[in-house]
Structure 1
Amino acid sequence: MRILFFGTKPYDEEFFTALLEDSRYGGLEFKFIEPNLTAETARLADGWDGVCAFVNMDLGTRTIELLHECGVKLILMRCAGYNNVDLAKAGEFGITVMHVPGYSPESVAEHAMALVLTANRHMHKAYIKCRENDFSLSGLMGVNLSGKTAGIVGTGRIGAAMARICRGFGMKVIGYDMYHNKELDFLEYVELDELLAKSDLISLHCPLTESNYHLINSETISKMKDGVILVNTSRGGLIKTADLIQGIRDGKFFAVGLDVYEEETGSVYEDMSDQILGHSTMARLLSFPNVMVTSHQGFFTREALRAISQTTLDNALAFAQGKSSGNEIHGQ
């Protein structure tokens, strides 16, 4: 089984290569290349049995068509998300798509809380002030989390981990999800409108679907408390950025933490420090003193990368042996 890894960074090579010492994966051959998988680069996969891609890559209709022409039979997503994959087209061509549904939910949840704390207590600003020998407290006032209400939108593995963290901070935790997580006996499930109205902290932990695209918009923002803290470590498309910016300008939010955003495709995981960004919404978000932005790094811990690598190779091994790993994704 020959697999071409697209868009690889040094840390990808480190964790995947380390697994080659395991004899179970002896029948797998893979190569790491730097370009992301797009319609422009798909033909690089000619002669390979499978490709491995990440959440920031374009696996739309044209890319899938080209992969089919190259003889690719397997698409391995080394991530949980697959909203960028044309599953229907892959199914039409008999291409199997597999992902990593769970790796380290705590890594994302802990990053979500790090965003909450940083944006709330202005840690990023405090660090810069102290480096410049400015030890004044102006502009650094935050709010207590203890005793407040945390609203978790999506209570799967990551949302559940975030709920437990919030409970540990002494917060009342409420949640919204079509499917109730019975393990969260301390969490009260409510309708979305009630969660928006009651929560002092709202944390998004749901996959991006057609039904929840731009879930956070001018209408839902208007239902939130004044001074709410909003955090998104899930998918950028859950938030209508223009409406979020207007809400920030109107003083609706005490703090906002974003690890994902609508315009991240093409720039996320890339060093663009010597370039002028061609879009304006990111520049506007970064201009607000109560907004904290990171580069889709919620997954980025050693434990998570190790789990992602192992599950990805287990998926490839199962496919090569004609077995199911349980991580196949099927189109609607």
Structure 2
Amino acid sequence: MYKVAIFSSKKYDQQFLDQFNQNNALALHYFESRLTYQTAELAQGYDAICVFVNDVIDQQVLKQLDRFGVRVIALRCAGFNNLDLKAAKSLDIKICRVPEYSPEAVAEHTIGLLLTLSRKFHKAYLRVRENNFALDGLMGFNLHGKTVGVIGCGKIGQATIKILLGFGCTVICHDPAPSAEAKALEIEFVDQDDIFSRADIITLHCPLTPNTRHIINRSSIAQMKSGVVIINTSRGGLIDSEAIIKGLKTRHIGFLGMDVYELESELFFEDLSADIIQDDVFTRLLTFPNVLITGHQGFFTEEALITIARTTLDNIQLLLDGQPCDNELVY
């Protein structure tokens, strides 16, 4: 029986992974610790490890894992920007991921952030609980008729676009290599600069790569319409946080919704309610009344967790058995 170490595990990870570990085919061991250079020793004696978005899988960690005999790293997520692919290849460590768990889950969360900002649901909820039914300060704006710029037209981008079209939005999209399915949608493909200059609302659905890091920066913000709405449910590193704060302070950015944050690894997925947050940039963002932040929960639906568990376990079993795996990262 293959032994698998699950890092950054929460109760819900154990619940779904155990549920779909048919006949206990894999020996799963759960660690709440994030995978780092300091915690990598926990992987000794395991055939494979399973990691999440904020685990550190750099060259140093990979060398440790190789020394411990780990042959497979399974990401229970789609993104792999936290992984040194070149180092993994040199060590002949196989990598797999979950490329698609529930595009609709993230798309619906994206629209949830947008609707909450546009209609101030979060503020209205708190008022009504205090028997305050005044409407002053709650004026919103229609999504119908707005031009929405979507950067990245993969599965999540497409699911988001379909919802936006249903609201009566005009959608423009930038993607360097759109699929046939994306091209079939009733949207216009434009240059990235066109997105920045034309869109009333910009939503990010692209992976974090060297080319997309800080795609939202001082220069791109300067091109945007005054009062632009920016939504990010993809990766925190797509946004230059210092630049976004400046845009918010000058009111050039009208609203900001984020489910991800550039330095979220020290914050998200933990209960820090009794702690003092040391990240001054993050705490500054929380002070703006037109900013809405959620803690990387866009993926967090029952349907998505079922898919993640099933796909992750299948990936690990196939690769450890030496069988072809469609979700293996070939690099």
Normalised to the residue count of structure 2, the TM-score between the two structures is 0.97
Match of residue 111 from structure 1: 109
- 8 Å CA contact retained: 1:87, 1:330: no
Match of residue 208 from structure 2: 208
Q: Deviations over 1:270-296 (max 9, x none)?
A: 000111111111111111111000001
Match of residue 20 from structure 2: 19
Match of residue 155 from structure 1: 153
User: 1: distance between equivalents of 2:32 and 2:212?
Assistant: 33
- 8 Å CA contact retained: 1:120, 1:290: no
Match of residue 167 from structure 2: 169
Gaps of 5+ in 1: none
- 8 Å CA contact retained: 1:6, 1:36: yes
User: 1: distance between equivalents of 2:170 and 2:161?
Assistant: 9
* Superposed displacement of residue 193, structure 1: 0.8
Normalised to the residue count of structure 1, the TM-score between the two structures is 0.96
User: 2: distance between equivalents of 1:118 and 1:282?
Assistant: 20
Match of residue 230 from structure 1: 230
Match of residue 325 from structure 1: 325
Q: Deviations over 1:115-169 (max 9, x none)?
A: 0011121111111111222211122111100011111100000000000010010
* Superposed displacement of residue 254, structure 1: 2.1
User: 2: distance between equivalents of 1:200 and 1:264?
Assistant: 27
- 8 Å CA contact retained: 1:120, 1:254: no
SS at match of 2:127: helix
- 8 Å CA contact retained: 2:229, 2:254: yes
Match of residue 70 from structure 2: 72
SS at match of 1:265: helix
* Superposed displacement of residue 27, structure 1: 3.1
Q: Deviations over 1:24-46 (max 9, x none)?
A: xx432111121111111101110
Instruction: Give the aligned residue type for 1:79.
Output: C
Q: Deviations over 1:66-91 (max 9, x none)?
A: 11111111101000011011111111
User: 2: distance between equivalents of 1:55 and 1:279?
Assistant: 19
Q: Where does 1:175-214 land on structure 2 (aligned, <5 Å)?
A: 175-183=173-181, 184-214=184-214
CA RMSD of aligned residues (A): 1.1
2:222 is the alignment partner of 1:218 = no
* Superposed displacement of residue 330, structure 1: 3.7
Instruction: Give the aligned residue type for 1:327.
Output: N
Match of residue 258 from structure 2: 258
Instruction: Give the aligned residue type for 1:208.
Output: L
Gaps of 5+ in 2: none
Match of residue 143 from structure 1: 141
2:258 is the alignment partner of 1:293 = no
User: 1: distance between equivalents of 2:138 and 2:283?
Assistant: 22
User: 2: distance between equivalents of 1:59 and 1:152?
Assistant: 30
- Comparing 88-97 and 102-111, the one that deviates more: 88-97
- 8 Å CA contact retained: 1:55, 1:81: yes
SS at match of 2:266: coil
User: 1: distance between equivalents of 2:324 and 2:151?
Assistant: 31
Instruction: Give the aligned residue type for 2:90.
Output: E
Match of residue 55 from structure 2: 57
User: 1: distance between equivalents of 2:273 and 2:136?
Assistant: 29
